[in-house]
Structure 1
């Protein structure tokens, strides 16, 4: 035992020396390249003296980074997360400046702007070297992971865990936002997602599940995590009793929807027992939260929704890697957008403005932070984790659900899954990784692009109200934009003027993908068909007979082209009229018709079953939110050790029941003993040195 301890100490010391040597060589190389950086005195030094100066500076910088950096990040906990990501570089440069001041005889000197560059490169090299050494030494890597996990599980409380005790298996649920069942199968078959393909061949099963009419993350994830999708008619809708617009990706709305679901089910949520919620709209009842929108409007240190950012950026090397990848993604989007324009791709939407940065945030920053948080949860031995990766959904809205743009995103997500599987081998309990999605994506030209006007303009024309001469664009409301706003401490959706529309005769028109909702604010309760036809005689015929609209729901009746009418209360009528939208369409519409906050008129776009295309009422060429095509076919992919779900899953509430059953299938109690429940540092995310960051598998 003593010999093994000495061998371990010698191995650790050797890794420290190698990292120190790599940092020293990096410092020497940078001093030779950068004009504003030197490692010699004014009188000149020998090669030996310059080498010793570099070694001194590298050692001082490494020591300061280890001791001072975590304190600085903690002190800046209330700074907006994205601001912290930029501030990281300047703080890191300041530490290097201080380290060079400690060099004897004033041999180290660097300009402030150069210090930022030198510090970033030094941090990246040191982290990469440390990780490479740890990974190459499997035993050292395993011991380090177990040591980190044991420290996080509860020794801070004085408990001592029996090393021979086996914890019951845990579950990690990874939501690949917006990825439909067919697209997942296609990506695995084409070799875009080799990890998923290997799992399907050897260890996992795959099945589709059908969403409700509101095929979007707000409804689906609320149902999956909290067991209820009741009274969520769309992504955004107008509530007459309060006069407010509810938007699923607005923090205040998300908090209210979660409260309503908990009240309805009388249950805390899927993750209430030792769970962690990462990157989601809702908490699921977890006590460990990071990047959860429903709590992101809170202020102060009690707000743990952004904790994952701070824990991740506490390692400057993480910030360097993520920042470089962020810039690369912005450039990639600009190049892809120009290529699409030069090729004359159709359909196409605008991809300018802030979109390249929103895309980079979703596909790089949020992915890296969420994956790192999940790795930390696994090392801490938490019994269940639910994480949402939104990158594919964001890119599919603007590039379409199929093609090289989305394939690149899926390939990087696949590498993140491979990293989760690799780290799971070193966790204190076995983990079963379940993949699922909340909805799919249906392609198609936007309503505005196809017909030259927005639905709001068509509604106003049908009501005889003035219409703008030039059609405006309906902004896209993807989930990633809400995450960006929350990270900037600005948790209000664009178009905030629609939060409380003025009451009056003018209708309120809100889009949710290829589903739209029309409400009359001055009419108490739900407007009847008779009232609408009396007040606005041309409105319903104008909408129902428009080629871009498939059907309307008005007070218990489905209206189709050519005067077709189906009463939901009469069996078979709605099924016949909605047959082209697939099995279960009439059931979904009938269920939504019973919601207290269903709109006066619900509008679903036209759908072509042969091409699978729809017309989004927002500026999205890959859309979801209503009925028609792949958007309503999500997937569930589970390890073979778990029992099979029902043959045909319908609705997110049914998925919730399956996941809850799987949580109960582990041997032994799901909640660890009290001495194992210490909640580690903010967000419970990955420690920095020696553990791979998410993008190190690129």
Structure 2
């Protein structure tokens, strides 16, 4: 054996001995503190005998954790994800009880509940000690990652693949707008991203469609199609179904429609991995993918990331402790905000602290661990979504101190992935992007004392409750928790009596549908049924504009901006920054025109007011940071890409819509991997006559039928 191998083996042996010694000491301390945990015989033992007993127990527990734990976790893989996270502690405690039973002469014993505590503490201490030793020895860390990567490649039979073709990691920072990212970089909150911008990456803003939310944007990015996704949730009259983007059944259907329309499996069909997303992107490796969440049985890989993460009991302990700390952090931050009298403000009690902790700790840890595994396995393309910022910004504001702290922690996760890339078996290009931004503002209910549903019912002459009911937040993380627990996802605005309008909210975008009619109800028919409705909505100061369909004039955009004068503009004549779109950014008219072509556009599409000076909108949900419609930063996400990749757009061109982002990402994959990545499918509906050529050529481009 060479000197280097002896040194490596010796270093590994030293680390094992140190971790064993620390675990032994920890066990002795716990035995002295906890009355129901002992390491000596009934008649008492010397300190030396107690130390030997603790060493025996710590060694047995360590071996059982290393050998038995992965098998136990795999056996429980089909248990709901969060239940598995709690079950970890009981399984860990069981292993400790077994380890204590192996100590000679019966000198080790503990009550079951005490064993859970002892096992958790020992796992955390052993993990911290091992990590500290690895950090101090960078060469050892590098060798460990390399060996792990080699083993994974051998298991997958990929030894013949060399590092000559780089892989690509697409990391989505959910809800982080272009301007928020720039502010965070300038304020020193994200030093890793700042370093990339200075040396290796370029930053490109892009513009969403009218529906500025994850369902539409991620479907477009991963599957190249945003057609007929008018909002986060909408009602389909022909089936009577309520489609909600973050419901598993709806996600499955949306992905099926996109694949059928494009004739293509998605962005990740070539050795791809999809982590923490709503849709699979055609990937073979899946973890925490909502459209796969309904799968059961041995072929269910939607939660495989939980197995990979919880295979190490120290991970479970570390994440659980961070979870508890995050719950405490949210309780402290919300209390301080209430005492300071911060405005705007929404309720942050109930289950929200736990939902926030799930999004900012559990999902982040599992997704990052899954991406690390993908990189060490040498996969060609990985797309992962981190929802932490989006969840916190909904309740604390997109530029609040709480959200800024989340950006700091996200930057540390990005730095970790960059470090892992240095040890991966192939070169990796890391692309950061977002699916939308968020716009601040007081809720519609907070500003005017009634919900959009109340206003619609008043305009229809229907009874309105004396006290306004709250429209719950539709943030993605809330229903992700329900999916993880295998609990049904309730609707928001489920149909009531057939004659009553269905009013749905997607951020500051509202949808009004009349379920007792076929197809889109015309403006003339709405006036015959409810003569005051459109004027009530268009003239309200909290509403910017409406989209309706007229029998005489075709589609109309109607708005009054809180004045006595109601503007009615045929959609074909609609111009940016004029009439009902006064104050809205360029591109708003094309976005509205495109949505009008969707078969499931609501009878009345309602966009809230937008103040171009403050950037504020009024969400129709309980969110002080919202997205889903037009107005402000919500429609302006970002794309941060390595400079060795081609420019996203040519010259001064603008990147518009998630479908175009899909074409850019696919082009980059072809640049990295060659012709094994298929060309972009012909999926995009041009937003104007001049856009058929696009800001860059779309491979195999052909126009879709606008009369869909």
Q: TM-score, normalised by structure 2?
A: 0.92
1:420 is aligned to 417
1:563 to 541, 566, 572: 566
Alignment of 1:645-660 (within 5 A): 645-646=648-649, 647-660=653-666
Alignment of 1:239-278 (within 5 A): 239-278=236-275
1:97 is aligned to 97
| 1:580 match: secondary structure | coil
After TM superposition, give the deviation of residue 56 of structure 1 in Å. 0.6
Matched, 1:517 2:514: no
After TM superposition, give the deviation of residue 623 of structure 1 in Å. 0.4
The size of the alignment, in residue pairs, is: 665
Residues 274-293 of structure 1, C-alpha deviations (whole Å, 9 max, x = no match): 00000000000000000000
Deviates more, 1:624-633 or 1:195-204: 195-204
| 1:620 match: secondary structure | coil
Q: TM-score, normalised by structure 1?
A: 0.93
Matched, 1:506 2:500: yes
Q: Distance in 1 between matches of 2:63 and 2:144?
A: 20
Q: Distance in 2 between matches of 1:161 and 1:651?
A: 39
Alignment of 1:537-616 (within 5 A): 537-555=531-549, 556-561=555-560, 562-570=565-573, 572=575, 576-616=579-619
After TM superposition, give the deviation of residue 572 of structure 1 in Å. 4.1
Matched, 1:527 2:521: yes
| 1:577 match: secondary structure | helix
Q: Is the 8 A contact 2:228 2:601 kept in 1?
A: yes
1:484 is aligned to 481
Deviates more, 1:566-575 or 1:506-515: 566-575
Residues 350-389 of structure 1, C-alpha deviations (whole Å, 9 max, x = no match): 1111111100000000000000000000000001100000
| 1:532 match: secondary structure | helix
Matched, 1:634 2:628: no
Residues 9-36 of structure 1, C-alpha deviations (whole Å, 9 max, x = no match): 2222222112111211211222222222
Q: Is the 8 A contact 2:493 2:502 kept in 1?
A: no
2:154 is aligned to 154
Q: Is the 8 A contact 1:249 1:293 kept in 2?
A: yes
Q: Is the 8 A contact 1:28 1:51 kept in 2?
A: yes
CA change 1:202–1:574 in 2 (3 A) is closer
Q: Distance in 2 between matches of 1:572 and 1:373?
A: 46
CA change 1:551–1:415 in 2 (3 A) is same
Alignment of 1:51-450 (within 5 A): 51-155=51-155, 157=157, 160-161=159-160, 165-450=162-447
Deviates more, 1:477-486 or 1:43-52: 43-52
| 1:277 match: secondary structure | strand
| 2:382 match: secondary structure | strand
| 1:154 match: secondary structure | helix
1:693 is aligned to none
| 1:336 match: secondary structure | helix
1:677 is aligned to none
Q: Is the 8 A contact 1:282 1:293 kept in 2?
A: yes
User: How large is the RMSD of aligned CA atoms in angstroms?
Assistant: 1.6
Q: Distance in 2 between matches of 1:292 and 1:631?
A: 24
Q: Distance in 1 between matches of 2:386 and 2:135?
A: 26
Q: Is the 8 A contact 1:439 1:631 kept in 2?
A: yes
Q: Is the 8 A contact 1:39 1:107 kept in 2?
A: yes
Q: Distance in 2 between matches of 1:202 and 1:573?
A: 37
Q: Is the 8 A contact 1:568 1:574 kept in 2?
A: no
1:661 to 659, 662, 667: 667
Alignment of 1:37-56 (within 5 A): 37-56=37-56
Q: Distance in 2 between matches of 1:521 and 1:496?
A: 15
Q: Which runs of 5+ in 2 are unaligned?
A: 550-554, 678-708
2:694 is aligned to none
| 2:583 match: secondary structure | helix
Deviates more, 1:148-157 or 1:578-587: 148-157
Alignment of 1:13-52 (within 5 A): 13-52=13-52
CA change 1:367–1:155 in 2 (3 A) is closer
| 1:276 match: secondary structure | strand
CA change 1:643–1:579 in 2 (3 A) is farther
| 2:242 match: secondary structure | strand
1:681 is aligned to none
Residues 543-589 of structure 1, C-alpha deviations (whole Å, 9 max, x = no match): 00000100000011000112211111236488553141110000000
Q: Is the 8 A contact 1:663 1:670 kept in 2?
A: no
| 1:364 match: secondary structure | helix
Q: Distance in 2 between matches of 1:574 and 1:582?
A: 7
Select the structure with the greater relative contact order (CA < 8 A; seq sep ≥ 6).
Answer: 1
Q: Distance in 2 between matches of 1:550 and 1:156?
A: 55
Q: Is the 8 A contact 2:242 2:491 kept in 1?
A: no
Deviates more, 1:538-547 or 1:111-120: 111-120
Q: Distance in 2 between matches of 1:63 and 1:76?
A: 20
Q: Is the 8 A contact 1:379 1:428 kept in 2?
A: yes
Residues 194-230 of structure 1, C-alpha deviations (whole Å, 9 max, x = no match): 1111111111111210110000000000000000100
Q: Is the 8 A contact 2:203 2:639 kept in 1?
A: yes
After TM superposition, give the deviation of residue 137 of structure 1 in Å. 2.3
Deviates more, 1:137-146 or 1:545-554: 137-146
After TM superposition, give the deviation of residue 486 of structure 1 in Å. 1.1
Q: Is the 8 A contact 2:376 2:423 kept in 1?
A: yes
Q: Is the 8 A contact 1:395 1:406 kept in 2?
A: yes
Q: Distance in 2 between matches of 1:232 and 1:558?
A: 19
Q: Is the 8 A contact 2:41 2:106 kept in 1?
A: yes
| 1:604 match: secondary structure | strand
After TM superposition, give the deviation of residue 476 of structure 1 in Å. 0.8
Deviates more, 1:526-535 or 1:124-133: 124-133
| 1:173 match: secondary structure | strand
Q: Distance in 1 between matches of 2:382 and 2:233?
A: 28
Residues 604-626 of structure 1, C-alpha deviations (whole Å, 9 max, x = no match): 00110000000000010100000
Q: Distance in 1 between matches of 2:19 and 2:676?
A: 40
1:686 is aligned to none
Q: Distance in 2 between matches of 1:497 and 1:628?
A: 24
CA change 1:263–1:574 in 2 (3 A) is farther
| 1:619 match: secondary structure | coil
Q: Is the 8 A contact 1:549 1:603 kept in 2?
A: yes
| 1:581 match: secondary structure | coil
Q: Is the 8 A contact 2:224 2:658 kept in 1?
A: yes
CA change 1:579–1:644 in 2 (3 A) is farther
After TM superposition, give the deviation of residue 310 of structure 1 in Å. 2.4
After TM superposition, give the deviation of residue 111 of structure 1 in Å. 2.1
Q: Is the 8 A contact 1:361 1:484 kept in 2?
A: yes
Q: Distance in 1 between matches of 2:7 and 2:134?
A: 15
Residues 84-108 of structure 1, C-alpha deviations (whole Å, 9 max, x = no match): 1111111111111111111111111
Q: Distance in 2 between matches of 1:47 and 1:127?
A: 26
Deviates more, 1:315-324 or 1:44-53: 44-53
| 1:434 match: secondary structure | strand
